Amino acid sequence: MSDATILDGYQNLVAEKKLPQGQKKTLLAAIELFSEQGFDGTSTAQIAERAGVSQATIFKYYKTKNDLLNAVIEPVISELLPRLQGDFIADIEENSANSRADLVNFIVFNRFAFLKQNRQVIRIVLQELLTKPDFVGEIVRAFQARLAESPRLVESNLGILLEKHPEYQPMDLLRIIAGPLAAYFMQRFVFFPDREFAEERDLKLIAKQILLILN
């Protein structure tokens, strides 16, 4: 799996954009602090201090802190996550699993490692998805566009996963796999962040449950 994180990618993404330097510094400081402290635990004064700008500069570009959050999250969802899906597709191609069990286990462990590595930003994204359902459609469309770039790889792996259930659609498969992973992520890092988990055992159990549906 690639060692690139969402925060690394976000820095590069902002650097590419044609924005005033004060606005770029504000966006970078905001995503760092929202990740570290949460949205509610971060003030615009803290963002201004981290960015090295005045609060007046922040409010020049964003009327409210919520507007700033939307500006931070939108490119993560519409641009950055789809880019990082390209790394995942490359990982699948390199892995070359030939059995359904091997492929499901690879996907479960690979994707949870990604979620864990980026858990601070993923928490912000999930919170936004709960309040802005339109973001879900954006993620799905961007993900489908990325998959369309590797039709042979997608077709071969779908064939392995859906051999017993050709009636399932790719979106059915996405729900079957993403649902348990998202639930476990929320358990680990949102609801019970201080509890100890047997991660390898838990992930193997999730993979087993997914296989029961696909077999």
Number of domains in the chain: 1
Residue 1 placed within a domain: no
Residue 196 placed within a domain: yes
Indicate the range of 32-46, 51-65, 126-140 predicted with least confidence: 126-140
Most confident of 46-55, 96-105, 116-125, 139-148: 46-55
Q: In the predicted model, is pLDDT for residue 169 greater than 70?
A: yes
Q: Residue 29 is part of a domain; what is its CATH number?
A: 1.10.357.10
pTM of the model: 0.78
Rounded CA gap, 136 and 152, in Å?
26
Rounded CA gap, 27 and 188, in Å?
28
The domain of 170 spans: 6-214
Rounded CA gap, 126 and 135, in Å?
10
Residue 61 placed within a domain: yes
Burial 64-80 (b: 16+ CB within 10 A, else e): ebeebbebbbebbbebb
pLDDT digits (tens, 9 = 90+) for 106-137: 999 988 998 888 888 888 887 777 766 676 67
Encoded tokens for 183: 């639930």
**Burial category of 108 from C-beta neighbours within 10 Å (exposed 0-12, middle 13-18, buried 19 and up):** buried
